[in-house]
Structure 1
């Protein structure tokens, strides 16, 4: 059964149990904001690459939407609040939604997206405590592939 009311947030950090209890709510959007850091080679800088392959092949929270923070066209990695709002709208995020963010690594990219969304005026934004690593360690359900169940670009 889905709820039309946005799940109430008491803290900008939600537990895996809170998220599991609210999955399926029409007013909840879960975003995977994974970015991968590749080690520097030959003294060069660390390279950032999309975490989309992790989302597809290593799994994600059921219903989570992958956010490509490194694609300027998507707008969610932008510094302008207007660009962030356009990017959020393009994936269906409205002010009426509760948004829960995570990433598959250390939480920095999810925190970066949280800061961008709150800076653009979204108030119901939280991070998943422990990210996908905690979700996975608790043997919670994972989905693989795109939301339509397929793999590929």
Structure 2
């Protein structure tokens, strides 16, 4: 008996990346989770890496404040862990800030450490 993948509970993704405009248009949507990936290895960050409330059916957008490698790494970890609706934010936090988007992206997101494994 095979099981079908869980349908997304948030906005549908058509690509493995999304634009800042896509994210701005979908802020506040049910089932949308925003995750800030960090290369930090401090204990506090590691302890918060995956919120228990992060649902595998959610639409998860991962960003970082660097060139995107942390976001890409963590998005791959999520996909390997059963999250099927995951994308990275093109340009990350730097582009979001440079475009003077109205919302503070960091206050809307979960903070994770991209160098840790999901248990």
Shift of 1:142: 4.1
Residue aligning to 1:19: 23
CA distance in 1, matches of 2:24, 2:77: 25
CA RMSD in angstroms comes to: 2.4
CA distance in 2, matches of 1:26, 1:145: 18
CA distance in 1, matches of 2:58, 2:104: 22
The count of aligned residue pairs is 99
Identify if the C-alpha distance between structure 1 residues 19 and 145 changes in structure 2 by more than 3 Å, giving closer, same or farther. closer
Deviates more, 1:138-147 or 1:108-117: 138-147
TM-score normalised to structure 2 length: 0.72
Instruction: Give the conservation status (yes or no) of the 8 Å contact 2:59–2:86.
Output: yes
CA distance in 1, matches of 2:99, 2:67: 17
Q: Which runs of 5+ in 2 are unaligned?
A: 1-8, 109-119
Residue aligning to 2:14: 10
Please give the per-residue CA displacement for 1:36-82, whole angstroms capped at 9, x wherever unaligned: xxxxxxxxxxxx555x9xxxxxxxxxxxxxxx3xx2x44x4xxxxxx
Identify if the C-alpha distance between structure 1 residues 15 and 144 changes in structure 2 by more than 3 Å, giving closer, same or farther. closer
Shift >6 Å, 4+ stretches: none
- Whose Rg is larger? 1
Shift of 1:34: 2.5
Shift of 1:137: 1.2
CA distance in 2, matches of 1:29, 1:137: 22
Alignment of 1:112-151 (within 5 A): 112-143=73-104
SS of residue paired to 1:33: strand
Identify if the C-alpha distance between structure 1 residues 138 and 117 changes in structure 2 by more than 3 Å, giving closer, same or farther. same
Instruction: Give the conservation status (yes or no) of the 8 Å contact 2:32–2:59.
Output: yes
CA distance in 1, matches of 2:107, 2:18: 24
